[in-house]
Amino acid sequence: MRILSFCLLFLGISNFLFSQSPSWEEFQTPVTSSLRGLSPVSDQICWASGSGGTWLKTRDGGKTWENGVIAGLDTVDFRSIYAWDELHAVVASAGQPALIYRTEDGGKSWNLVHREGEEAFFDAIYFSGDVGYVLGDPVGGKWMILGSSDRGKTWRPLENLPAALDGEAAFAASSSSLISTTEEVIFATGGTFSRLHLYSVLDKSWTVQDLDLMAQGESAKGVFAISGAKYGLILVGGDYTLPDSREGNAVLSLRSGFRIPKVSPLGYRSGVAYWKGNKTVVAVGPSGSDYSLDMGDTWISFSKIGFHAVKSSIDQGVIWASGSGGRIGKLRL
């Protein structure tokens, strides 16, 4: 009888929590840059980066912010950032010059750790512990992928890099087109062709799958962000010139294959994040935000506030988002 009462109480609390739509708590930061780089560590610590060489960080949950310009490079757009704590972070630029910088003192100083040639364009960065990767546009017909095993201190190209199709592209809209684990590296593309690329760290081999259900065929279309969930991958994107279009803007990659969600997000989406603690998926784009409680199969619009990027914190305690005009948000349930 006690067990039954507890179960009924738990179900009642769960239904109450999820009957309340999530919302964004927005923060006034001291910058006005477009922030496409985002790396939350916890509920209290969150880093972001973007145009004008900007970096910023909070250590008190968004109440106050520290900020600056990375190495004085006020014309560089640092769209990719990854932070481990309040002191250590690494950033990668989008466009030229193609640079990777690292800080060990919380942003007070930034050291150049890697530079690429004139054809390079970095799209995304992702770390799993000490091991991480940077994805770049194709050079010489092959994708550029750099790997690091020491928290970004040194970088080297992966062996056996995959070939890119003519007109195939990766997007740097939110530094979310790449994810990795200790066993594999995964990135998704768009442009003339939308495809999913999977690299086995053990075998050093690639598997490429066509994403026929995703928007493609033009430079503005494709997969802009991916996130891993318990049962597979959630891919979002669409056509960034049509921010309200739901056509080809989300695909689920499951063990049984690819399929379109029962209800797709309400427009083009540039970022997606899976919050393991609450089994909630959140997608963002210029026209608003959506959430899903069934691993991306059914999406519910909950905000018209536009963001570029959305990420789960390293400790999986919270979801943060970043956007234009120096805007930062934290999800509230």
pLDDT in tens, the chain (333 residues): 433 333 333 334 334 444 568 999 999 899 999 999 999 999 999 999 999 999 999 999 999 999 999 999 999 999 999 999 999 999 999 999 999 999 999 999 999 999 999 999 999 999 999 999 999 999 999 999 999 999 999 999 998 999 999 999 999 999 999 999 999 999 999 999 999 999 999 999 999 999 999 999 999 999 999 999 767 999 999 999 999 999 999 999 998 899 999 999 999 999 999 998 889 999 999 999 999 999 999 999 999 999 999 999 999 999 999 999 999 999 998
pLDDT value, residue 271? 98
Burial bucket for residue 175 (CB in 10 Å: 0-12, 13-18, 19+): buried
**Rounded Cα distance, 261 and 282, in Å:** 14
Question: Domain 34-332 is classified in which CATH homologous superfamily?
Answer: YVTN repeat-like/Quinoprotein amine dehydrogenase (2.130.10.10)
Q: Where do the domains of the chain lie?
A: 34-332
Q: In 3D, which of 62, 45, 59, 19 has the Cα closest to residue 328? A: 62
Identify the three-state secondary structure at position 52.
helix
**Rounded Cα distance, 191 and 168, in Å:** 5
The DSSP result for 232-265, as a single string, is EEEEEEEETT-TT--TT-EEEEETTEEE--SB--
Handedness of CA 182, 226, 316, 330 (dihedral sign): positive
In the chain the first and final C-alpha atoms are separated, in Å, by: 31
Number of Cβ within a 10 Å radius of residue 273: 25
Identify the three-state secondary structure at position 14.
helix
pLDDT value, residue 278? 86
Structure tokens at 187: 């990135």
pLDDT value, residue 13? 39
Burial bucket for residue 325 (CB in 10 Å: 0-12, 13-18, 19+): exposed
**Rounded Cα distance, 189 and 272, in Å:** 15
Structure tokens at 216: 């493609």
With contact defined as beta carbons under 8 Å apart, do 136 and 145 qualify? yes
**Rounded Cα distance, 299 and 309, in Å:** 17
pLDDT value, residue 84? 98
Structure tokens at 85: 């704590």
Amino acid at 184: E
With contact defined as beta carbons under 8 Å apart, do 136 and 97 qualify? no
Phi, psi of 13 (to 5 degrees): -65, -45
User: Could you say which DSSP state residue 155 is in?
Assistant: -
With contact defined as beta carbons under 8 Å apart, do 194 and 222 qualify? yes
With contact defined as beta carbons under 8 Å apart, do 195 and 163 qualify? no
